[in-house]
């Protein structure tokens, strides 16, 4: 059951709507632009294209990173009751975990959120931050409850389309480390570039992944419907009774129409809260 969301749009925090709203109730963007440079990047096109760059740039509404953190803290505290329930998602307009570029500010904000009992969801295509000092320092300094941290990896298994990101195999290894650390883990299997690679990516992640989120390429070529239907049925069945969950994004449901099957024990909707389980 979807719940009505009040709108909020601050400089750092906001309530996403549309496709981004399928991901989280609240999100934080400090940067625009991204050196992962995925060929299918949605930020390169449409409404975000005027601020796109191949290097992350601090958003112009912030004077500097100190100002960005001060704004974040103020906006977080103003919405603290809701944020403690839903958590904050990092980020829709960059990869928030790029060492030396976005990771440092993300860690400052994550540290502040966790110290205020606000859970965080982080989506990345990088694996190298797990060995970065700033991540280790954050963990050592605040000794976080890792169940308040959900780490997601985007998995297409198409390294050729993501030239600046960590290779697929390194992302899987990083997911395993996060899982073993006690973090919640999720996989964003979006976009599906081709069914075979998405299927393999899901199998690779399965032992270490609590939640899969699967969606089609926005405005791109659509997969064969029979193959997609087979993927849906296989993973609904595989996850049934396992305690693991899958969220089929609206793009999949709309494309398959009557051929889409919702399984009560494995499928969740966009309001699913990974921190409640």
Evaluate the CA torsion angle 198, 199, 201, 206 in order and state its sign.
positive
Between 37 and 273, CB nearer to ligand SF4: 37
CB of residue 95 vs ligand SF4: minimum separation in angstroms?
4
* 77 close to 34: Cβ distance less than 8 angstroms: no
Between 51 and 173, CB nearer to ligand SF4: 51
Between 123 and 268, CB nearer to ligand SF4: 123
Could you say which residues in the range 83-142 bind ligand SF4, by CB under 6 A? 94-95, 125
Among 13, 34, 114, 150, binds ligand SF4 (CB under 6 A): 34
Could you say which residues in the range 201-230 bind ligand SF4, by CB under 6 A? none
Pairwise CA distance, residues 95 & 166, whole Å? 11
* 41 close to 165: Cβ distance less than 8 angstroms: no
Show the beta-strand stretches assigned E in the chain. 13-14, 27-28, 31-32, 57-58, 88-90, 120-124, 149-154, 184-192, 211-216, 245-248
Q: Does 174 bind ligand SF4 (CB under 6 A)?
A: no
* CB-CB neighbours of 98 under 10 Å: 25
Among 38, 107, 172, 268, binds ligand SF4 (CB under 6 A): 38
If 0-12 CB within 10 Å is exposed, 13-18 middle and 19+ buried, where does residue 20 land? Answer: middle
Among 10, 19, 41, 177, binds ligand SF4 (CB under 6 A): 41
CB of residue 161 vs ligand SF4: minimum separation in angstroms?
9
**Binding residues for ligand SF4 (CB under 6 A):** 34, 36-38, 41, 43, 94-95, 125
């Amino acid at each position: 059951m979807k719940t009505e969301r009040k709108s909020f749009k601050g400089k750092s925090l906001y309530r996403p709507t549309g496709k981004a709203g399928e991901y989280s109730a609240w999100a934080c963007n400090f940067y625009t632009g991204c050196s992962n440079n995925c060929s299918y990047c949605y930020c390169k096109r449409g409404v975000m294209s005027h601020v796109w760059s191949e290097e992350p740039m601090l958003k112009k509404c912030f004077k500097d990173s100190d100002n960005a953190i001060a704004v974040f803290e103020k906006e977080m505290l103003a919405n603290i009751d809701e944020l403690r329930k839903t958590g904050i998602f990092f980020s829709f307009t960059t990869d928030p975990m790029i060492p030396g570029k976005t990771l440092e500010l993300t860690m400052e904000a994550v540290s502040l959120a966790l110290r205020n009992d606000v859970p965080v969801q982080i989506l990345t295509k990088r694996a190298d931050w797990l060995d970065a000092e700033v991540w280790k320092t954050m963990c050592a300094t605040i000794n976080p409850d890792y169940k308040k941290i959900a780490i997601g990896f985007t998995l297409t298994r198409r390294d050729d389309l993501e030239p600046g990101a960590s290779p697929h195999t390194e992302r899987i290894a990083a997911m395993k480390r996060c899982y073993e650390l006690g973090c919640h883990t999720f996989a964003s299997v979006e976009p599906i570039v081709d069914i075979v690679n998405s299927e393999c990516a899901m199998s690779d992640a399965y032992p270490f992944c609590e939640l899969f989120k699967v969606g089609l390429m926005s405005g791109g070529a659509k997969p064969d419907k029979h193959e997609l239907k087979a993927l849906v049925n296989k993973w609904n069945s595989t996850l049934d009774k396992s305690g693991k969950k899958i969220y089929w994004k609206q793009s999949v449901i709309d494309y398959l129409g009557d051929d889409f099957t919702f399984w009560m024990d494995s499928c969740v909707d966009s309001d699913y809260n990974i921190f409640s389980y």
